Amino acid sequence: MALVYSTDGGRMCPHCRQPLAACRCAEAARKAVRETVRGGGQVRVSRERGGRGGKTVTLVRGLALDADALAALGKRLRAACGAGGAAKDGVLEIQGDHVERVLALLAQEGHAARRSGG
């Protein structure tokens, strides 16, 4: 049975059984996500054509951002490149060959990105 309320501390976190004001579960979860980012936390920008019907796509991998921040960054990059795209499984996809422009924009945003592939 999970402890939900205590007269000593008020509402309790069901996971760590600490008062909600002192709960560190969300912080621990964010830290775990940052540590398990694909690519080891190294931001890589590459160009890919395979499996896309001959269409070129710029991919950004390894960004240590949560889903909302990743989507917001993707929107800014797509707007700056004047292209469409998506954020799927922690990878930003931008339609077209925009590797150099994306590298410059990521540097402006404070991300140490490197070019990957040919």
Domains in the chain: boundaries: 8-34, 38-115
| Token pair in block for residue 68 | 């909302």
Tell me, what's the pLDDT at 54?
Answer: 86
Tell me, what's the pLDDT at 12?
Answer: 75
Residue 33 carries which DSSP code?
H
pLDDT of residue 50: 82
38-115: CATH class: alpha beta
Q: What is the mean pLDDT of the chain?
A: 82
Tens of pLDDT, residue by residue over 80-111, are 999 999 998 888 999 999 999 999 999 998 88
- CA 58 to chain centroid: 16
Rg (alpha carbons) of the chain, rounded to whole number: 19
> In what side-by-side order are the strands of the sheet with 43-48?
85-88, 91-95, 57-61, 43-48, 113-115
- Predicted TM-score (pTM) of the model is 0.66
3-state secondary structure (DSSP) of residue 38: coil
